[in-house]
A = this chain, B = another copy of it.
């Protein structure tokens, strides 16, 4: 035990955000590799400790598929940061960090999100770019520093980009993501990027083993909208037909959740990646918000929203305004 406690001080844990997705897990593995290569030669930062990838929870089926395909183990779980040395990937907000993040030393951050509230007492490497994926930023760091990208690491970064940008269809996609993905596909030996993207994204489309409650809550967030409690979930599917038979069951479960949780409304986005739109399942005391928010009247249980793929950018803001009016 003493030996282990002693040893943990001699590593840098490279860790992504809570509720890990493919980008946060793969980027931890890739950045740990890059940091260790920098230890051997001149890097932008020079660590005196070995970098080890870590994860804040079980990887999802998509991530497991990607790790297996390229021959990587699932990183070890890190849930308490106290006394540890960390490098962060794919987040810079304390709310997404392991507990006791204020008692950890942070030595580097690579991210592609808004700038969060993590501060440091010393200068560190912090590279955040407004692109679609942390994998894209990491690819640039390899290019800039001349560290070789192996076939396997290229696969991880490519899968991260395809996952995060929903095969380049998300509003967050930039030209740089596409260019970097093409370069990575060459290194990884992947000829058809779109086909590989569908392979990756389809792993989260298989909901046959999940209960209705698990489907609704896999990616579910609470919001305060005009003083009302609103829950919005999202599930991304290759084809909505995969879930068609379970709509009634899911809808009944949403009703239960609404009563149990005292929600003014529960919304579930069934996003069709290939058709680039969302079937929005709705149970609410204020059905008029749908028309106010999206210009389409709710008839029955759901409404089809053409082109809507992002909860953050396309669903939360109009619903927020609508709930403030009713």
Contact = CB atoms under 8 A, between A and B. Distances in A.
A143 to B, nearest CB: 8
Interface stretch (A14-22, A107-115, A251-259): A107-115
Task: Determine which residue in A114, A115, A124 has the highest number of CB atoms from chain B within 10 A of its CB, and name it.
Answer: A115
Interface stretch (A97-105, A127-135, A286-294): A127-135
Interface in A77-108: none
Contacts of A121: 114
B120 A126 contact: no
Contacts of A109: 115
A117 interface: yes
Copies in the complex: 2
A143 B172 CA distance: 26
B129 A44 contact: yes
B114 A176 contact: no
A116 B117 CA distance: 8
A119 B130 contact: no
A124 B119 contact: no
Given A144-B144, A176-B44, A125 B129 contact: yes
Interface string A8-47: 0000000000000000000000000000000000101100
Contact of A120 (B112, B114, B119, B123): B114
Contacts of A172: 123
Nearest to A113: B123
Nearest to A122: B114
A137 to B, nearest CB: 10
B123 A119 contact: no
B114 A125 contact: no
Contacts of A115: 109, 118-120, 124, 126
Given A144-B140, A144-B144, A124 B116 contact: no
A112 B127 CA distance: 11
Interface of A: 42, 44-45, 109, 112-131, 140, 143-144, 172, 175-176
* A-B residue pairs, 6 tightest by C-beta: A123-B130, A126-B128, A115-B120, A114-B120, A144-B144, A115-B119
19 contacts: A42-B176, A112-B123, A114-B120, A114-B121, A114-B123, A114-B124, A115-B124, A116-B119, A117-B119, A122-B130, A123-B128, A123-B129, A123-B130, A124-B130, A125-B128, A126-B127, A126-B128, A127-B127, A143-B144
